[in-house]
Structure 1
């Protein structure tokens, strides 16, 4: 369905973006040099963003790609803090990230590279659109940090959320609205609330993100079972709906496929909405064009997520020496002593 219906796109800037993100990870000390050398390109973090925000300027794509790479490193730190039972370290990091999000300029030289990297990435993203967009992005990312805290407590206590609880939380831990916000700097235009919250636009945006989150759950299920995870749609289906592993995989796959078909319908409705915005005024023409760029990039998200999960070393759990410990994670860098 993806390979035939969603042709793969890749931003022309991608090779340079990959090179610069690799250098940024080193400069910000987010990954040790040996890990960057051996694993950074194979993890395909820049491929994921370069296949998504294809309408972005080179500068915007680079900022998004670096922020995305930071996000994966943060996700790994969060995971290691859980695995190695470091609640105090996680609480400290959580508070520092909230602070860095509100005042990134004051945290650029923070002692924790993860905090400094967050500040650098966010400050660059804040430079593209007006303050109203920055405040919205910050609000959405604060909610993501808090959701990661809820996941921390669930995992350390062995609590498997119900399917409905999980689906609500997943929209936050996958950062649905953060990646959707970033469609706007990629299009070079802040969308007013009346456009962003219009049912046609919002439904298409949500479906593209739901597909990505659930496809991620499908592909990461072996890795997360190996790591005693409790946050996965398949695991919630097994724990609370009484499904076998095979049945849970089939149900997640069914939901993924429905997201694809539903998006195709939503996309047409959103394109009609874009046409309606072109009301003969200069502003209407600008908004219509921006919505079309955003919709095109929502469509790109399907193929980019699909290929990322089949090409990234992040999901090749069967090739790891220890199925519960990713080889690209450095425990010393994550705060272990």
Structure 2
């Protein structure tokens, strides 16, 4: 199955989806879209990773394009202005690098380094301009990407984004402690934690600069809009768990819906895979219902006034991108080298990361 009618690689190849991970409804009912800026996006994000020293030059050259981080964002925020999409894509690439640094800190029991990084990220989130030249490239790169994101919408949006990402940092700290202690959270505890570590509300917040409009509370907190947003993110998080289960078992991870089901519900590996898949499929079905409700909300907002028409269009754009997230996440997991564990020399160590405590003096 080819993800695009035109490939994002120089040599078009069919993407083979293993039967256990195949979702025919995504392939048939969620056509994949790609922002036309994508080729330039890929090039500029690659350059940004080098400029900010977030990955060694040899790793960027060998792995950056194959990791498909820009493909993921270009398939999600499909209507965003080019400069907004670029800022989001750079921030997303940073997020993956941060996730890898966090993982290496866990693996090598670097509690002090993680604690310092955690505090620095909190500080950079509140005052990004003051951290643009921080000696740790991860902190400086974060400050750069956040400052750019803060430039698109009013201060109220920036404060909400910061509040949501402070919670993400703290959730990563909870993960650090769980992993170093070998603690596997129960299913409900895990699902609550996952909403932060997967940054559900961050990716949802970023729908708004993509649509060129900060949505009022009356829209964002409306049950129809909020449910559609949550389901799109739950699908992404749980499908990620389904696809990354082999990688995370190999790396002695404790955070995966499948691992929680095995540990606390007594399921076999095969039963856990079936249950995660069932939840993923249920998410898709429920989203289709929630999407209709959210579109109905957009219709109601269009009251014939200019402001009503504009807000209605922004809501429609956000809901349309929620739908785009399904196909983008799905194909990303089968195109990105991030999940090709069987091709790694060491199944517990991704070839695109280094084990050094980068940025630590």
Aligned residues, how many?
337
What's 1:100 paired with? 124
**Of 293, 300, 313, which residue of structure 1 is paired with 2:324?**
300
Query: What is residue 204 of structure 2 aligned with on the other side?
Result: 180
SS in 1 for 2:184: coil
Counterpart of 1:148 in structure 2 is 172
Q: Which stretches in structure 2 are left out of the alignment for 5+ residues? A: 1-24
Q: 1:74 aligns with which of 72, 93, 98?
A: 98
| Structure 2 partner of 1:199 | 223
Aligned counterparts of 2:276 and 2:248: Cα–Cα separation in 1: 15
CA contact (8 A) 1:63 1:124 kept: yes
Retained in 2: the 8 A contact 1:211–1:260?
yes
Distance (Å, rounded) in 2 between the aligned partners of 1:23 and 1:165: 39
| Residue 60 of structure 2: aligned partner | 36
Residue 334 of structure 1 and its aligned partner are, at CA, apart by: 3.3
Q: Greater share of helix residues, 1 or 2?
A: 1
The C-alpha deviation readout for 1:157-204, integer Å capped at 9, x for no partner, is 000000000000000000000000000000000000010000000000
SS, match of residue 273 in structure 2: helix
Shift of 1:332: 2.5
Contact 2:113 2:360 survives alignment (8 Å): no
Distance 2:64 2:221 in 1: 37
Matching of residue 272 in structure 1 with residue 296 in structure 2: yes
Aligned to 2:157: 133
1:258 aligns with 2:279: no
Query: What is the match of residue 169 of structure 1?
Result: 193
Shift of 1:330: 1.3
Structure 2 length normalisation: TM-score? 0.92
Indicate conservation of the 8 Å contact 1:191/1:287, yes or no: yes
The 5 Å alignment of 1:309-324 reads: 309-324=333-348
Does residue 52 (structure 1) correspond to residue 76 (structure 2)? The answer is yes
Q: Is the 2:105–2:357 Cα contact (8 Å) retained in structure 1?
A: no
The secondary structure found in structure 2 opposite 1:56 is coil
User: Any gaps of 5 or more consecutive residues in structure 1?
Assistant: none
Q: Which residue of 2 aligns with 1:247?
A: 271
